[in-house]
Amino acid sequence: MGRGRIKMKQTKYVMSGGLAFDEERDMKRLASLAQKGWLFEKFSPMGYTLRKGEPAHLQYAIDYRKQPDRDYFAYFEEAGWTHEGSAGDSIHLFSAPEDVAPIYSDIETMVEKYRSEQRLMGKSAVVALLFTLVLWWMSQWGIGGLAEGVVSILLVFSLIALVFTGLPYLGYTFKLSKLQK
């Protein structure tokens, strides 16, 4: 009987701490894993998918820009940064060798970065809160039947939306207060 080779898994999932709360820690973790040969492949739900490759000494950085154009990515490329992937059309991950200057080197640009995300999450959280309050109010009326079931399901979804927008809003608000001290 011949021995088969053990095939190593070529991808792995890494959970994110949440960009609004742990962006810096996530980027350091990705850099540490890159040194072990686990390189960013794509954004995944609530985390990242990494692929096995050659160990690399990289730094990672996130930038937020809604619907970027070619000039946006060219700017980063000229500065020595490689676009690794995007989550939706507004969260972009870049990598660069460790000796390349960081994307954000001053407080003002970091404040601007987080303020735009704070505004976006704040607006979304207010909408989710309004839907949640209206649906909760409707659920208190005791509608009954199918309508009550539909309202209950919508209430659960609106609560989930409130958590996924309200918590990042609070995270960005906290980051901004720390940066502006």
- Model pLDDT, residue 41: 97
Six token digits for residue 28:
């350091």
* pLDDT, tens digit, 9 for 90 and up, residues 106-118: 888 888 888 988 9
pLDDT at 1 over 70: no
Total residue count of the chain as it appears in this document:
181
Q: State the Cα–Cα distance between residues 17 and 161, nearest whole angstrom.
A: 18
What is the rounded CA–CA span in Å between residue 100 and residue 115? 25
Radius of gyration of the chain (CA): 21
What own/partner pairs with CB < 8 Å and gap ≥ 24 does 105-111 have? 107/179, 107/180, 110/179, 111/176, 111/179, 111/180
pLDDT tens-digit map of 29-71 = 999 999 999 999 999 999 999 999 999 999 999 999 989 999 9
Decide: 102 and 79 in contact? Cβ < 8 Å.
no
SS (H, E, C) the chain: CCCCCCCCCCEEEEECCCHHHHHHHHHHHHHHHHHCCEEEEEEECCEEEEEECCCCCEEEEEEECCCCCHHHHHHHHHCCCEEEEEECCCEEEEEEECCCCCCCCCHHHHHHHHHHHHHHHHHHHHHHHHHHHHHHHHHHCCCCHHHHHHHHHHHHHHHHHHHHHHHHHHHHHHHHHHHCC
Whether residue 151 has pLDDT greater than 60: yes
**Given this model, what pLDDT does residue 113 score?**
84
> At residue 141, what are phi and psi to the nearest 5 degrees?
-75, -15
pLDDT, residue 96, reads: 97
Q: pTM to 2 decimals?
A: 0.77
Q: Where are the domains of the chain?
A: 11-97, 107-179
